[in-house]
């Protein structure tokens, strides 16, 4: 892994001047991911927060070949480009090595892009898919997605008389769904742990075949926290084990960060306005349920690692 000094000397493939909100983690994550790339790269990005804030006509923040796909088909678009590249390389029309990265938010990945993503993974395209997971449809008004955690208040699962506790369902575990495709590499990362995340991007790019990385991407507007706290929010998500940092390489699970002092999840929840209602006395039981869900998932993950 390059040092910070070495990384600071690399060309920025996603430059400043974009229109993302102050405190948005998505451009932080993608700048880190692209800093891990050492070859030519083609990027495809689904409609969503990252795309609309980096490509406002006639400007672009991308210093790489960039393809804007529809909301639901970033993976399909890049799988087609990767196939064309292999065909041209086989015929000798392209000599150099090119990497392919598809990007989507959780709405375009967990939900309406899942079929496209699953197909690309099953077909075995040599590409990396990065989901910046901000846990709702933030670009269109903070509607709940299947990545939204239990208990979160969104515009389509608002806390109130009908649903006092916000979203009632447990979030989908997309990283495990991708690993179930028997792909060479799947991982979870967070920009707060940049060395770990960039190492995972390098690993994903190096494998032959498809790879998937789910990166936590706090949205200061939808999660309702001070923009200055973005990195701290991510660190707390890791130290509470809400967002475990782990990787699955050829079916073998490795947990990359094991908190020495695992924090209660309420410390992470209470920093976000979307969970404020959970701290009413009548919702104490739901807080206990959420803690139990996280503890159970964490213990299952450790057990799977121990079996390796």
Which pLDDT belongs to residue 107? 97
Q: What pLDDT shows up at residue 4? A: 76
User: What does the buried/exposed string (b/e) look like for 271-282 if buried means 16 or more CB atoms within 10 Å of the residue's CB?
Assistant: bbebbebbeeee
The CA distance from 183 to 123, in Å, is 10
Identify the CA nearest to 26 among candidates 9, 49, 44.
Answer: 49
Contact status, residue 152 vs residue 275, Cβ threshold 8 Å: yes
Please tell me the distance from the alpha carbon of residue 113 to that of residue 188, in angstroms, as a whole number. 19
DSSP H/E element including 287: helix 284-306
Residue 176 burial by Cβ neighbours in a 10 Å radius (0-12, 13-18, 19+)? middle
pTM over 0.95: yes
Rounded Cα distance, 239 and 262, in Å: 6
Tallying the residues shown for the chain, one arrives at: 308
For residues 101 and 82, give the distance between their C-alpha atoms in angstroms, rounded to a whole number: 10
Task: Find the farthest-apart pair of alpha carbons in the chain and give their distance in angstroms, rounded.
Answer: 68
Q: Are 194 and 32 in contact (CB under 8 A)?
A: yes
- pLDDT (0 to 100) of residue 6: 79
Residues of the chain with pLDDT under 50: none
* pLDDT score at 133: 98
Contacts of 112 (CB under 8 A, 6+ apart): 71, 72
Pairing of strands 252-255, 211-216: unpaired
> What is the predicted pLDDT for the residue at 161?
87
DSSP state of 177: H
DSSP strand pairing (252-255 vs 246-249): antiparallel
At the top level of CATH, the class of 10-306 is alpha beta
């Amino acid at each position: 892994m390059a040092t910070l000094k070495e990384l600071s000397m690399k060309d920025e493939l996603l430059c400043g001047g974009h229109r993302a909100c102050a405190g948005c983690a998505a451009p932080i994550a993608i700048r880190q991911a692209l800093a891990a790339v050492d070859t030519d790269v083609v990027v495809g990005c689904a409609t969503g927060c990252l795309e609309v804030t980096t490509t406002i006509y006639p400007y672009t923040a991308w210093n790489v070949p960039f393809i804007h796909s529809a909301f639901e088909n970033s993976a399909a678009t890049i799988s087609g480009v990767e196939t064309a590249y292999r065909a041209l390389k086989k015929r000798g029309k392209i000599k150099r090595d090119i990497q392919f990265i598809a990007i989507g938010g959780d709405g375009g990945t967990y939900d309406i892009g899942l079929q496209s993503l699953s197909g690309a993974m099953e077909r075995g395209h040599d590409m990396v898919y990065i989901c910046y997971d901000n846990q709702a449809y933030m670009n269109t008004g903070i509607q709940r997605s299947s990545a939204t955690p239990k208990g979160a208040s969104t515009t389509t699962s608002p806390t109130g008389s009908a649903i006092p506790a916000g979203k009632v369902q447990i979030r989908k575990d997309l990283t495990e769904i991708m690993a179930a495709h028997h792909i060479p590499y799947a991982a979870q990362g967070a920009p707060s742990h940049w060395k770990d995340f960039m190492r995972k991007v390098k690993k994903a790019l190096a494998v032959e075949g498809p790879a998937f990385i789910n990166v936590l991407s706090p949205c200061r507007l939808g999660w309702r926290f001070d923009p200055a706290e973005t990195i701290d929010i991510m660190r707390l998500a890791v130290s509470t084990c809400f967002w475990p940092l782990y990787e699955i390489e050829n079916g073998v699970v490795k947990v990359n960060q094991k908190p020495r002092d695992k924090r209660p999840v309420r410390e992470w929840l209470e920093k976000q306005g979307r969970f404020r209602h959970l701290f009413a006395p009548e919702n104490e039981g739901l807080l206990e349920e959420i803690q139990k869900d996280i503890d159970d998932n964490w213990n299952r993950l450790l057990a799977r690692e121990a079996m390796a």
